[in-house]
Structure formats: structure tokens, C-alpha cells
Amino acid sequence: MAKFNSHIKSLRIVLKPAVPTFEGGMKVGDVAGKYAQFVDGQFETNDEEVIAKLESLPTFGVDFWKASDEQQQESNEPEVDGDLQKHTKKELQAMAEEKGIELDGSETKDRLIELLQEKQEN
């Protein structure tokens, strides 16, 4: 099972677009496309082709990223500075938003870590 997270709560990625169907030169319908629909910023799949396609997209690591099982377990435990340093800036931004920290987008990775630590202390 592969889990993906996104800072975009209802992200929809087109894996295979819908295709119109024609008979005798007339459009009679559409063949459904294949999509990765994120719900509350999360998407899960067992399909290896879908996983490979998602990881090959240029927006992988920007708009969405793969969440490891280790990250899922750690999210229930308090973070310490060393743990936070392991995360990317995008992941830190997503964590801050989940904890209700208001961001203006200009924060550095170090500033995000400071904000998250302050939130944990309160």
C-alpha cells in the first residue's frame, strides 16, 4: 500500500484521460478516464502502475509526496528538532497548516521548525 499526501486537499491527478467513443463518425459516449483523487490531502493505492506514474510526474515532491509508514507512525509522537530537520519544507508547511499555524509563504525551513516547536510547547 502506497500513501501519498498533498497540501491540496482535493487534488485530482489525471492518470489516463477520458476518451470519446465514435460509431459511424458519430460520438456515442466516452470511455472513462483513470484518476488519483486525493481526499483531505491523502490518496492510497496498491496499483504499482499508478504508483510509478505518480512518482514520475514533475509535480511529485511539490504538490504531493509519498508518505512512508514510518512518517505515519511518527506523526502521532511528539517531534523533536532532529526529526523535523528530516522533513522537506513542503512537508513542514503541511504540518504547520494541520496544526493551525498561519503561514504567509515566506517562511524558511528553519522558521517553520521554530513555529512547529513553539506550537508543541503550548
Are 62 and 106 contained in the same domain? Answer: no
Is there a single domain that holds both residue 84 and residue 60?
no
Domain enclosing residue 21, as ranges? 1-67
C-alpha distance across the termini of the chain, in Å: 35
User: How many domains is the chain built from?
Assistant: 2
Distances (CA, A) of 112 to 53, 101, 105, 116: 31, 10, 10, 6
Could you give the CA distance from residue 43 to residue 119 in angstroms, rounded to a whole number?
A: 27
**Residue 86 counted as domain residue:** yes
In a domain, 62, yes or no: yes
Tell me the pLDDT of the chain averaged across its residues.
85
pLDDT in tens, 58-86: 999 889 999 864 444 444 445 555 678 88
The pTM of the full predicted model, rounded to 2 decimals, is 0.52
Say if residue 44 is in the same domain as residue 86: no
Per-residue CA distances from 95 to 75, 81, 86 (Å)? 9, 14, 13
pLDDT tens for residues 103-122? 888 888 888 888 888 887 76
Does residue 6 have a pLDDT over 50? yes
pLDDT in tens, 21-52: 999 999 999 999 999 999 999 999 999 999 99
